[in-house]
Amino acid sequence: MKNDNNIKKGKLIVFSAPSGSGKTTIVRHLLKQKELNLEFSISATSREKRGKEIHANDYYFLSLKEFKNKIKNDEFLEWEEVYRDNFYGTLKSEVERIWAKGKHVIFDIDVSGGLRIKKKFPKETLAIFVKPPDLNELIIRLKERGEESEEKISMRVAKAPAELATAPLFDEIILNKDLDTALEKAYHLVSNFINDKS
């Protein structure tokens, strides 16, 4: 990260979870709460666009070659090959862009990426794990989305137990059994962390 003295470091709010846990719904809700002063960190990916996704809005869509070049040039805060030739990562420039606006950064990323950010910025980061009620509920939610093939859903479900095992490494765990309760807990955790001046 550039050490630009003009950039005041904000806080980093990380939400991680197995696919289908509801973390994206929680993140979208928090972004609407203007008093939290959050901006979404757009991840970079080497995967193809899905549906109506827009470059630089949903993701920064890079070719596999571009992504690997950025890894070589140390342009990522964190990155991972989530599935074969499917890379995801957070560009350092993205966090700098948001901090330069005087805002806090909120992430919706996989567990490995979330923990890497926490490790790099232990004081500035609140890492929250969103837990589904159980694996069956996770499968139902993934199928209800109707976005992916059975094969893709199976891959996501197969990864879930390993992801769930990382929950104790996060600062906080939100059980998303009842969405309203989960949203309320998320709001309080984030608000308290942002307003803590210690």
pLDDT of residue 196: 87
Q: Residue 168 has which token pair?
A: 């104790």
What is the total residue count of the chain?
198
Average pLDDT value for residue range 163-186: 96
Q: What is the DSSP letter of 123?
A: T
Domain ranges of the chain: 12-195
Closest CA to 135 of 169, 166, 170, 164: 164
pLDDT of residue 157: 83
pLDDT in tens, 57-98: 999 999 999 999 999 999 999 999 987 899 999 999 999 999
pLDDT of residue 1: 59
The answer to whether the beta carbons of residues 22 and 132 sit under 8 Å apart is: yes
For residue 29, count other CB atoms closer than 10 A to its CB: 16
Given a cut of 80, is residue 2 above it in pLDDT? no
Given a cut of 80, is residue 105 above it in pLDDT? yes
Average pLDDT across the chain, whole number: 91
The structure tokens 């949203």 sit at 183
Please name the residue ranges forming H helices in 73-198.
92-100, 111-120, 135-145, 150-164, 179-195
pTM: 0.88
CATH homologous superfamily, domain 12-195: P-loop containing nucleotide triphosphate hydrolases (3.40.50.300)
